[in-house]
Structure 1
Amino acid sequence: MLLLATGFAWKKGQNTAPSRKPNIVIVLADQWNAQSLGYAGNADVKTPNLDRLAQSSVVLTTAVSSMPVCSPARASLLTGQYPLTHGVFYNDRPLRNEALTLAEIYKDAGYATGYIGKWHINGQANYEKQFAARNRAVPRDRRQGFDYWKAREVTHDYNSSFYFDENDVRHEWPGYDAFPQTDSAVSFIDRNKTNPFLLVLSWGPPHDPYQTAPEAYRKMYDPATLKLRPNVPDSLQARARKDLAGYYAHCTALDKSFGDLVAALQKAGVEENTILLFTSDHGDMLYSQGKVRKQKPWDESILVPFLMHYPAGLGKSKRILPVPFSNVDILPTLLGITNIRIPETVEGTNYAALLAGKQKPTGEEASLIQVPVPFHENNFLNGGKEYRGIRTKQYTYVRDLKGPWLLYDNAKDPYQQTNLIGSPAYAAVQAKLEKKLRQKLAEAKDRFLTADAYMKQWNYRYDGKDSLRVSGL
């Protein structure tokens, strides 16, 4: 199925690429949820550059983080595999060298490859000093095919940030790190404008801490004036407004950098022939449902922004697609667009023809969502639990190990305030979604075992208190 023709040039047994291969730039923000953008209908947040680009892009409004947490989502983007296949289903665990990745594939196709910013898939295989790998250089053989290298495993101190270069030499990012990181991306683009290139620019914000964007951007937002989602409990609204103001300040600062990046592509004369993709690894609850941050199955956690701008291949008109599209689908879709054969290791779906408007949605599309092991702030003691679910265009359906847990009709209940599990009026819908979930689990070879089973299978140990279960779970 993954090797079917996509509507782009394809001949049996060989790839037929355009006379000049398209460049690829992936801009990956950390913890930017789908609703915190002007083009998504948010009247409070200021994102003029992203809003402008959306007017000439394909906009996916149901883009899903299959496992909504940092390391698993990033490993899935690079491999096109689900977390239980590539093994990074727990933060700060390493993506194996055996994995076939985005950069390795495009490097073999003649692309220059570059990575700038947060990496977060080279953690320790097991617990030593917690998060010890976050401050170490990523060895050359662990960079998964990226040659140009200005990266650090992870930091959330955006104003006192360092990185390692290709030779493992440490350097400081001056000021708010997203700004000089984007400058480095501009330099990479200018240096490689006559050759095909793949670049990933990975920002740390708007991930908390929320109050650390440059002062000029923080001054743009008054917490008292911000509109909250109706699923934020009254008791948390003051805290939510304060954090939301800082979160939006980060978003607006990043939007400025995004504008600089687009201007650089235009100045270099490569915008038309560049696939520019903007997305995030996962969302942020920001007190919706009374929850914070990620790993949760609600839309604020699993839905992420997704813009694809490629004038030469997708045209210059805005097209909105509500089709569920997972980060597992990014790699096969890019390969489809650029006419490169999709390896058998890839588990995601190639949606190139759909994005190009050469194929219509079937209405049966669904994205799998998984948390095989709840950990850290979402560990068992904090109420976390193993779950599997699907997000379709209209519905969210989730099971835990005990059975059906959540069912939402997102068309009628966009803030997911009414759980319909067991509702007689939705019995047929629930049965159909259960069948679809079982199908997706079979495709992903996911047997939905306990967290302990997967930790044992991969020879991982829990960090700190993550393995302690609350009585009755």
Structure 2
Amino acid sequence: MKYIPFYILLGIVLYACKPNHIPSEEPASKIRPNVLILLTDQWRAQATGYAGDPNVKTPYLDSLAAMSVNFTNAVSGMPVCSPFRASLLTGQRPLTHGVFMNDVQLDSNAVTMGKIFSKAGYITGYIGKWHLDGHGRLQFIPPGARRQGFDFWRGNECTHDYNKSLYYMGNNPTRKTWQGYDAFSQTDEAIRYMKAKEKSDNPFLMVVSYGTPHAPYHSAPEEYRNRFDPDKIILHENVPDSLKMKAKKDLAGYYAHISALDDMVGKVIKNLKESGQLENTILVFTSDHGDLLGSHGAYKKQQPYEESARVPMLFHIPKNLDITTGEREALMNSEDILPTILGLCNIPIPYSVEGINYRPYLEGKAQVGDATLLTCVQPFGQWNKVEHGGREYRAIKTKRYTFARDLKGPWLLFDNTSDPYQIDNLIGNAQFASLQNDLDRQLSERLRETRDEFLPGMDYIKKWGYPVDETGTVPYTH
């Protein structure tokens, strides 16, 4: 049986008993905006036109960024799929909700986004990749508790076959296949859903969870693949010579996926404008983590490097909320997304939520901390200990520095301003000893505040009762 901390149980009870009061005389449906979350998979923060990537043009995302709040230092606190998704839904850190590895189930009793918005009178819908059920990547997720409060359902646990992508519709356990490249069909389905809600008395919450630009990198439609010549790709300076040829080829495919998704962002915005819903919709664009793609001699995620941990984070906020658009330096983390959306919607934030509500910060009424945490509880999969030298770590990230400690002690220290590609590890450098000690102290304080004992990964696996193979990875089935 899974271990469930007392304070989670207390939060569930308090949430169930807490009156859903909103300080307004108007009906909630008349004053609350719709919420649309466009979630991508493995899209690193650097890979957009507005972020300055020389390899790709993202005109629709650039346009969205221009009319949004852009959290330029946003991170995925545990940069891997399921942990981020669980934090997005619960507003909790991984050691609280327990999903610190892929392919395990988020507690069906958790207080989640879908349940909170449903209780507040929203119509809820989910399209695309779920990766929170842990019962097999292609298996039917039945209506009820395992869908965590989402009613409209066009979802599947996890697949990366983007041209033969499976999903399930509503209560029907029969497998269906998205027509063509799945991001296109998923976008059309989301637009149909939102159009059907135009005259509804209730606002909607819709999550569209795309599988790309995650590998396989070369499966975007041909018209997008043809836009990118691997020989012309400009690599980050931290890609070793041994991986440069492969990285250029894979990045060409990665950018093809990104260009396709950029078109889908444009299509969504166009339809929201035409329907008159854009200025009554909070639109969040983000990703569950980044992708190293050869940087530091590695691929994919889990590690604390910028390409892995930093993610795009755009909040388009209706003008009537009177929040100024533009770049913000605050270090928004995964668990902060839910409470910020709830704050913007005037929905009470459950006691179980650990993240920060950024609305007062956005209104200029409050300051937020200048550091946040990055965590790897148990390295697994493509970064497991046995085959790939993975390691448990805890890291503190400020606007300028990244400092990481593994179980043996200080591991990494980077000045991300003077060394944006994190090539020069300053650990042990006498010139930076004072800085290292200060960041080490800050990290220890944050771990105490978050009740993180920083134990070996297997201790947490035993505590939560997860089955793992010889590499420390939770096996999954299709």
Residue 464 of structure 2 corresponds to: 458
User: Which one-letter code corresponds to 2:299 in the other structure?
Assistant: V
Within 2, Cα distance between the matches of 1:464 and 1:255? 40
Deviation string 1:411-443 (CA, Å, 9 cap, x unpaired) is 111111111112222222222212221222223
Deviation string 1:293-350 (CA, Å, 9 cap, x unpaired) is 0011101000000100113245586410121110110011111111121111111111
Within 2, Cα distance between the matches of 1:115 and 1:356? 30
Residue 109 of structure 2 corresponds to: 98
Residue 7 of structure 1 corresponds to: none
| Cα deviation, residue 445, structure 1 | 1.8
Within 2, Cα distance between the matches of 1:316 and 1:245? 37
Within 2, Cα distance between the matches of 1:243 and 1:109? 44
> Of residues 341, 362, 372 in structure 2, which corresponds to 1:355?
362
Deviation string 1:123-182 (CA, Å, 9 cap, x unpaired) is 14xxxxxxxx11111111200000000000000000011210111342210000000000
User: Which one-letter code corresponds to 1:332 in the other structure?
Assistant: P
Unmatched tracts of structure 1, length 5 or more: 1-11, 125-132, 469-473
Within 1, Cα distance between the matches of 2:317 and 2:111? 25
Residue 9 of structure 2 corresponds to: none
Within 2, Cα distance between the matches of 1:316 and 1:266? 19
Residues 1:288 and 2:277 aligned together: no
Residue 375 of structure 2 corresponds to: 370
Q: Does the 8 Å CA contact 2:138/2:166 hold for their aligned counterparts?
A: no
Residue 415 of structure 1 corresponds to: 421
Deviates more, 1:330-339 or 1:142-151: 330-339
Secondary structure at the aligned position of 1:212 is classed as coil
TM-score when scaled to structure 1?
0.92
User: Which one-letter code corresponds to 1:110 in the other structure?
Assistant: G
Residues 360 and 46 from structure 1, CA distance in 2 versus in 1: closer, same or farther, beyond 3 angstroms? same
| Cα deviation, residue 13, structure 1 | 9.4
Residue 398 of structure 2 corresponds to: 392
User: Which one-letter code corresponds to 1:368 in the other structure?
Assistant: L
Residues 427 and 228 from structure 1, CA distance in 2 versus in 1: closer, same or farther, beyond 3 angstroms? same
Within 1, Cα distance between the matches of 2:266 and 2:304? 32
Residue 407 of structure 2 corresponds to: 401
| Cα deviation, residue 226, structure 1 | 1.2
Within 2, Cα distance between the matches of 1:153 and 1:186? 22
TM-score when scaled to structure 2?
0.91
Deviation string 1:46-69 (CA, Å, 9 cap, x unpaired) is 211001111111001111101100
| Cα deviation, residue 375, structure 1 | 0.6
Deviation string 1:374-433 (CA, Å, 9 cap, x unpaired) is 111111121101111111111101000000100111111111111111222222222221
User: Which one-letter code corresponds to 2:370 in the other structure?
Assistant: E
Deviation string 1:210-262 (CA, Å, 9 cap, x unpaired) is 00000000000011111111111122111110000000000000011111111
Within 1, Cα distance between the matches of 2:223 and 2:365? 44
Q: Does the 8 Å CA contact 1:110/1:196 hold for their aligned counterparts?
A: yes
Residues 1:432 and 2:438 aligned together: yes
Residues 1:136 and 2:139 aligned together: yes
Residue 297 of structure 1 corresponds to: 304
Q: Does the 8 Å CA contact 1:77/1:331 hold for their aligned counterparts?
A: yes
Residue 202 of structure 1 corresponds to: 209
Alignment: residue pair count: 447
Residues 1:67 and 2:68 aligned together: no
Aligned ranges for residues 43-62 of structure 1 at < 5 Å?
43-62=54-73
Residues 463 and 193 from structure 1, CA distance in 2 versus in 1: closer, same or farther, beyond 3 angstroms? farther
User: Which one-letter code corresponds to 1:377 in the other structure?
Assistant: Q
Unmatched tracts of structure 2, length 5 or more: 1-18
> Of residues 179, 190, 195 in structure 1, which corresponds to 2:195?
190
| Cα deviation, residue 464, structure 1 | 5.0
Q: Does the 8 Å CA contact 2:212/2:257 hold for their aligned counterparts?
A: yes
| Cα deviation, residue 76, structure 1 | 0.6
Give the share of equivalent positions with the same residue, in percent: 51
Residue 88 of structure 1 corresponds to: 99
Within 1, Cα distance between the matches of 2:108 and 2:391? 30
> Of residues 160, 183, 191 in structure 2, which corresponds to 1:178?
183
Q: Does the 8 Å CA contact 1:27/1:201 hold for their aligned counterparts?
A: yes
Within 2, Cα distance between the matches of 1:13 and 1:207? 39
Secondary structure at the aligned position of 1:38 is classed as coil
Aligned ranges for residues 251-330 of structure 1 at < 5 Å?
251-313=258-320, 318-330=325-337
Within 1, Cα distance between the matches of 2:116 and 2:362? 21
Residues 328 and 467 from structure 1, CA distance in 2 versus in 1: closer, same or farther, beyond 3 angstroms? closer
| Cα deviation, residue 467, structure 1 | 6.6
Q: Does the 8 Å CA contact 1:323/1:392 hold for their aligned counterparts?
A: no
Residue 129 of structure 1 corresponds to: none
User: Which one-letter code corresponds to 2:262 in the other structure?
Assistant: D
Secondary structure at the aligned position of 1:257 is classed as helix
Within 2, Cα distance between the matches of 1:344 and 1:242? 47
Q: Does the 8 Å CA contact 1:86/1:96 hold for their aligned counterparts?
A: yes
Residue 216 of structure 1 corresponds to: 223
Deviation string 1:73-96 (CA, Å, 9 cap, x unpaired) is 100110011111111111000000
Residues 1:40 and 2:51 aligned together: yes
Residue 133 of structure 2 corresponds to: 122
Deviates more, 1:12-21 or 1:289-298: 12-21
| Cα deviation, residue 444, structure 1 | 2.3
Residue 239 of structure 1 corresponds to: 246
Within 2, Cα distance between the matches of 1:318 and 1:336? 17
Within 2, Cα distance between the matches of 1:99 and 1:193? 30
Flag as ranges the 4+ runs of structure 1 deviating above 4 A.
Answer: 313-317
Secondary structure at the aligned position of 1:40 is classed as coil
CA RMSD, 1 decimal: 1.7
